[in-house]
Amino acid sequence: GNSVTQMEGPVTLSEEAFLTINCTYTATGYPSLFWYVQYPGEGLQLLLKATKADDKGSNKGFEATYRKETTSFHLEKGSVQVSDSAVYFCALQGGSEKLVFGKGTKLTVNP
């Protein structure tokens, strides 16, 4: 079945540091890929998505590229801020329209 594996946290960075959160997936066919962010005490918010190979999703300085050859969708940001502190979830959606989530990576950014 479909599955998502993302790097375990927690990840702690200083403000303005470079961020990478790795995400790899296993799926049949050609799934859509997503990154969701969950701020403390809140529900999930869609951060970015990509629907086909080589697509790059981007939002709020975050980027992720759909790499079919490596089955990856790593999240990156060049310079993180304290306000980026949250839990980040990688997810895929196959033909059944169900979202399959990774376990989440908690990011803490210190001033």
Rule CB under 8 A: say whether 49 interacts with another protein.
yes
Q: By CB under 8 A, how many residues form the interface with another protein?
A: 19
| Options 42, 61, 81, 83; binder of another protein; rule CB under 8 A | 42
Dmax of the chain from CA atoms?
43
Residue 81 C-beta: closest distance to another protein, Å: 22
Three-class SS of residue 83?
Answer: helix
CA distances for 94 relative to 41, 66, 82, angstroms: 28, 14, 34
Residue 78 C-beta: closest distance to another protein, Å: 25
d(CA 6, CA 91): 9
The count of other CB atoms within 10 Å of the CB of residue 68 is 10
Three-class SS of residue 102?
Answer: coil
Task: Give the x-and-dash track for 15-34 against another protein (CB under 8 A).
Answer: -----------------x-x
Rule CB under 8 A: say whether 105 interacts with another protein.
no
| Options 20, 45, 81, 83; binder of another protein; rule CB under 8 A | 45
d(CA 30, CA 51): 8
In the complex, the residues that contact another protein under the rule CB under 8 A are 32, 34, 36, 42-46, 49, 51, 89, 93, 97-99, 101-104
